[in-house]
């Protein structure tokens, strides 16, 4: 066991470990680093060296998270970052034992994400103004988000070289640079082809965006914020009162597949989930919706 003489250097190496060895994105690794910053500031104020912290010290830190109003889900993410950090410290020889092994996490209720019905998705598509230059592009975006169950980051970075139109599939570069193959629906293929022919082929493309599929008016890659704006605007125009985001289309994709009888493992592969546990939330959505249907329509649930 050795003492930490430069905590800033240790944190930099921790971020490098997460990105290079664990395959995390830079944004995820930096988020974990920010969580560790919260811990190191707390321990410094308490006069405790990071490598000398006990499980009791860390439990007190977790208590302060609740005291300052941090929600259980955010607490869980912070604790996850702290646990990864201490595993790294032990691996690097700064600690003989891991004080986070017995560190409990907060209780988190299962949060069921919002899901759109097929009719609501159709209403969003019908709300697209096809007379505008960006109309066909937006139609193709919605069909691709919903038809392939993509994350918004995967959509904006989607390359034309990843499309295999004739074979009807697309290769997605997901989290941790992991690739997966996702089938393209006939509708998505049709709308992407129309976008390529009518819109993208006529654009002046900025350097560095030559292979990017969906472009803004200036011929550059779209931002995540722009996709959020497009989805939110279409939702409002369609009269949908649910609070949704581009990720809602991904949730809807998975839920509708499950309702249609798709295998959970197949859905896991198409979504790019590392663990089947993550995908299982859609089983709960399906059961929750079934319960609502029973309560709404079963004759025993209505007063005589």
Query: For this structure, is 178 an active site residue?
Result: no
Q: What is the rounded CA–CA span in Å between residue 26 and residue 28?
A: 6
Catalytic residue among 137, 250, 251, 256: 250
Strand order from edge to edge, sheet including 169-173: 163-164, 169-173, 179-183
Which candidate in 77, 159, 175, 224 is catalytic? 175
Among candidate residues 151, 200, 251, 256, the one labeled active-site is: 151
11 labelled catalytic: no
Identify the sign of the CA torsion 97, 99, 104, 106. Answer: negative
As given in the structure block, the two tokens for residue 281 are 């939330």
Based on the residue annotation, tell me whether 241 is a catalytic residue of this protein: no
Phi and psi at residue 71, in whole multiples of 5°? Answer: -70, 155
| b/e per residue 19-45 (b: at least 16 CB within 10 A) | beeeebeeebbeebbebbebbbebbee
- Catalytic residue among 87, 180, 247, 289, which? 247
Nearest one of 131, 220, 154 to 141, comparing CA atoms? 154
- Give the C-alpha separation, 118 to 115, whole Å: 10
Does the CA dihedral 272-275-90-54 come out positive or negative? positive
**Is 111 annotated as catalytic?**
no
Q: For residue 247, indicate whether it is catalytic.
A: yes
Backbone angles phi, psi at 186, to 5 degrees: -55, -35
Q: Using alpha carbons, select from 207, 231, 212 the residue that is nearest to residue 222.
A: 212
Asked if residue 166 lies in contact with residue 110, where contact means CB atoms within 8 angstroms, the answer is no
Catalytic, 94? Answer: no
**Catalytic residue positions, numbered:** 151, 175, 247, 250, 273, 282
């Amino acid at each position: 066991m050795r003492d930490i003489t430069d905590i800033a250097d240790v944190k930099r190496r921790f971020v490098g470990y997460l990105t290079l060895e664990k395959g995390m994105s830079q944004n995820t690794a930096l988020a974990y680093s920010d969580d560790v910053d919260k811990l190191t500031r707390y321990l410094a104020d308490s006069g405790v060296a990071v490598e000398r912290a006990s499980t009791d010290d860390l439990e007190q830190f977790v208590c302060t998270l609740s005291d300052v109003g941090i929600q259980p889900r955010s607490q869980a993410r912070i604790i996850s970052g702290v646990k990864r950090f201490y595993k790294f410290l032990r691996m690097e020889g700064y600690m003989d034992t891991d004080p986070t092994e017995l560190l409990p996490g907060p209780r988190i209720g299962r949060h069921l994400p919002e899901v759109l019905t097929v009719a609501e998705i159709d209403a969003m598509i019908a709300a697209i103004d096809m007379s505008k230059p960006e109309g066909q592009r937006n139609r193709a975006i919605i069909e691709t988000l919903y038809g392939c169950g993509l994350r918004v980051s995967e959509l904006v970075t989607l390359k034309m070289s990843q499309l295999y139109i004739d074979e009807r599939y697309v290769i997605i570069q997901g989290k941790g640079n992991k690739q997966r193959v996702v089938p393209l629906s006939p509708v998505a293929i049709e709308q992407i082809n129309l976008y390529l022919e009518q819109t993208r082929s006529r654009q002046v493309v900025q350097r560095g965006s030559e292979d990017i599929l969906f472009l803004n008016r200036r011929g550059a890659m779209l931002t995540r914020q722009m996709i959020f704006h497009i989805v939110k605007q279409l939702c409002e125009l369609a009269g949908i009162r649910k609070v949704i985001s581009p990720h809602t289309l991904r949730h809807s994709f998975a839920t509708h597949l499950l309702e249609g009888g798709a295998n959970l493992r197949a859905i896991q592969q198409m979504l790019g989930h590392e663990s089947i546990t993550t995908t299982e939330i859609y089983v709960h959505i399906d059961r929750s919706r079934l319960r609502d249907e029973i309560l709404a329509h079963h004759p025993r649930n209505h007063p005589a």
